[in-house]
Chain A
Amino acid sequence: MASVTLPAAPSETEPGRFGIYGGRYVPETLMAALVELEQEYEAAKKDASFQAELDALLKDYAGRPTPLYFAKRLSEQLGGAKIYLKREDLLHTGAHKINNALGQALLARRMGKKRIIAETGAGQHGVATATVCALLGLECVVYMGEVDMARQELNVLRMRLLGAEVRGVGAGSKTLKDAISEAMRDWVTNVRTTYYLLGSALGAHPYPTMVRDFHRCISREMKEQILEKEGRLPTAIIACVGGGSNAIGAFYEFIPERSVRLIGVEAGGRGGALGEHAARFHGGVPGVLQGTFSYVLQDEDGQIASTHSVSAGLDYASIGPEHAALHDAGRAEYVSQDDTATLDAVVRLARTEGILPALESAHAVAEAIRIAPTMPAHDILVVNLSGRGDKDMGILAHELKL
């Protein structure tokens, strides 16, 4: 980090900055669209009818609030802290991604944009976007790396059934990073007519802030629910971190609660060497990728490194800028869990609680399994179970020889 010159002394009050991270590093062609989006989003936030429509859809269509479930058998087996699961996996479409997709699609409609583009890694954001586009009658194109299309085929089929066009991306590593680049190329070309519905707390301002706000409901509910069930705040919140949307949603309301540990779990993949994992805080260096300044896995020439994770949704070389700021400030801790521990966690949760977590979310479960036995029985862990694992059956069948 010492060898890197940081970009211009950004002030912390500047919109779109989280400490020194964030900002807007985009081709000039996109700037007018980003400014327009920022203004429209600010207006929508203050518009009671916009919020009422979103809240109604979140409740009646998506299924909020989601339950906070006490995983009694798992907690007893591990013999330490009580483990609660925030059941985002029970939302319509099977993951937290629908929160943001609904919010941004309503914003797109408000802006008069009839064509929606999105990127997707695991396919959950793509499915959520295809779903809300069907609901609102919007054209939908989803970019997805060819490697991810193969390993998350079920979600490709779901998107197509919902009426979206899925465009495979064969460049680079053929995963999430390349899907984002291709979506940005589409946006820069069709910027006058097209809304880019970015699915993680990444990219140029205002996306990291806006996506976080649309997922803030997760921690707001968590806080109410745990106070109701336990009468106190949890010891720690655990969430997996790819771009970081579910984690920032799960952390946000707890950031001022200094007693609550915030633990982000990155993909440890199959080893510690560059290219074998997606743990940005364990080998990454601050840099610019796809519109934002944050930790980036890269080589010494500033070329972006390839990544590996068994979960497509965590397989990305950078991380949301707000996480970078929380990391540097010491407010959140970032650990990693590897592919093997993640697969073990899937099996364990399935067989103790009858819940099949997404491979992404299973990274957070694996961390809970690791630390719960080391904690006293009155401690409380809340795991954000960001998605369900049906989409992963192909990978699980192969990896677990089912």
Chain B
Amino acid sequence: MAIHFQHRPGLVVYLTAGDPSLDATRAIAIEAIDAGADVIELGVPFSDPLADGPVIQRASERALARGTRLKDVIALAREIRAARPAAGLILFSYFNPILRHGLASFADDAAAAGADGVLVTDLIIEEAKDYLAQMDRVGLAPVFLAAPTSPDARLQAIAEHSKGFVYAISRTGITGKQVSLTADAAALVARIRRWTGLPIAVGFGISSAEHVAEVGEFADAAVIGSAIVELIERSEPEASPGAVARFIKGLRLQPAALAR
């Protein structure tokens, strides 16, 4: 399965798996795909999410309190894949749960579940040799983060080792909403383009139709994370799939985006 963005700009939707429950995450993911999400990032909850802001920290705590485990998230990926064979599906995790599971068995299990790729928040290219070999062995796409602070030599290595797409971080900082996009994002995407023909998704702080349209001006896709996780937090569990679907449809209702 290859990741491709059917929409312009594409939408990548991050969900913390198991918040508020695994069943709810499955329903939300399917509704999100039907509402126009090109790729679902299934977040593996972690006890110490140091790259995440308060919204995803709280979601991780709730998911862990309900006993969500990595193997549950992999099983969830399998169910989403069965329900929506064409959607992109990425597992998103900190490194330690994957290490504890075993790199090779994680790769086997994720591939068997039908995931397209994996993103490890705290794994940089220099430390990724074994990981890359395992991803390659089972045909999973390793997606790496590129940051506004990454010099060109690092961006080149990130671009060369990434498959599926490159995830460009819109600004220095942790996950969470922001009022407006900084100039960092467009400049970073332009620098990454010099090294790769892969699609480039921009994430961190994208929360509105205006942001999505703006990202569409210079990148291939926008990643929506905390805004949707917060919406789920505020919604009654049975209402959250519908609320997320409406939110995603709303993200596309911009003249600037429709005109493209």
Contacts and interface: CB of A to CB of B under 8 A. Distances in A.
Interface of A: 3-9, 23-33, 171-172, 177-178, 180-181, 184-185, 188-192, 285, 287-291, 296, 298, 300-304
Contacts of A298: 96, 100
Q: Nearest 9 A-B pairs (CB), nearest first?
A: A302-B100, A8-B129, A302-B97, A29-B147, A189-B173, A8-B130, A5-B103, A181-B50, A303-B47
B253 interface: no
7 contacts: A4-B102, A7-B99, A9-B129, A29-B172, A177-B48, A287-B99, A300-B100
B122 interface: yes
A377 B58 CA distance: 57
Given A298-B96, A302-B98, A302-B99, A29 B122 contact: no
Interface string B102-146: 111000000000000000011110111111000000000000111
A22 to B, nearest CB: 10
Interface residues of B, number: 46
Given A172-B47, A192-B172, A32 B99 contact: no
A31 B172 contact: no
Contacts of A290: 48, 50
A171 B57 CA distance: 9
A8 B150 contact: no
A181 B174 CA distance: 11
Interface of B: 46-51, 53, 57, 64, 69-70, 94-104, 121-124, 126-131, 144-151, 154, 158, 169, 172-174
Most buried by B among A29, A290, A300, A304: A29
A301 B149 contact: no
A3 B98 CA distance: 12
A296 B96 contact: yes
B150 A28 contact: yes
A338 B57 CA distance: 32
Nearest to B155: A28
Contacts of A285: 100
Nearest to A183: B50
Nearest to B51: A27
Most buried by A among B69, B127, B148: B127
